[in-house]
Amino acid sequence: MKLLAAATPEAIAAAQAAADQKKAPAISILFKGNNFIRLLGGLWVTIRISLIAVVISIPLGILFGMLMTRKNPVTKAISRVYLDFIRIMPQLVLLFIVYFGTTRAFGINLSGELSAVIVFVLWGTAEMGDLVRGALISIPKHQYESAAALGMTPIQTSLYVIIPQTLRRLIPLAINLITRMIKTTSLIVLIGVVEVLKTGQQIIDANRFAYPTAALPIYGVVFFLYFFTCWPISMLAKYLEKRWKN
């Protein structure tokens, strides 16, 4: 009785509010404050890093792919080593090397987002270069011979014969690479970048007592945000591949 008498109205109201929150469904955490807006902001960080990396890595990858088709043995060897290194090394290890390694080795403090962009550009350039190489070598030799027989110069052959066919093979594969980049950005949470997954973790941690079962709806929303970001891109790639194949 003494404890009840000593309790202030504010404390009683706070305890009642906490009890009401525990009775509320876990999904209601999304509509508490600006939690859903924060998740959308985290998604924008994910998309922004992916877009910057794609915009830079596509032209670099095209140049890299063209270098890989050259007959110079030195160029081919260097290109092969770079491609194999990027493919063998996990992206997470590359993120740690760039983010932590540059600070220790050179005293350069890179932000998490910049480190992520650098790693994804290195990865995207290698993957895009291999796609370009595959698209170029898939052009039948008789296409070049037919163009030469028609009196086309090498530049005309590239512009009117090779490049159009290469793009038809390349664009759907490049679009799929974009979706892979978006999904792989979930790793950047480990170098301190507050993207959509990290934002979801912060919301869960901040409400772990009031909403102890909030993890399921939060991670469910994160799943759907990833899905509705990547699904239209994947459908576009399939549509273009099917249309141009016929």
- Give the chain's count of helices (H) and strands (E): 12, 0
Q: Among 80-94, 95-109, 158-172, 180-194, which is the least confidently predicted range?
A: 158-172
Task: Give the gyration radius of the chain's Cα atoms.
Answer: 26
Ordered by where they begin, the domains of the chain are: 29-245 (1.10.3720.10)
Query: Quick one: CA torsion of 51, 53, 58, 61, rounded to 10 degrees?
Result: -160
Give the model confidence (pLDDT) of 174-185 as tens digits: 888 889 999 999
pLDDT(229) > 60: yes
In this prediction, residue 12 carries a pLDDT of 52
Of the pLDDT bands very low, low, confident and very high (cuts 50, 70, 90), residue 212 is confident
Distance of CA 206 to the CA centre of its chain: 27
**Burial bucket for residue 232 (CB in 10 Å: 0-12, 13-18, 19+):** exposed
Pick the most confident of 102-106, 139-143, 156-160, 201-205: 201-205
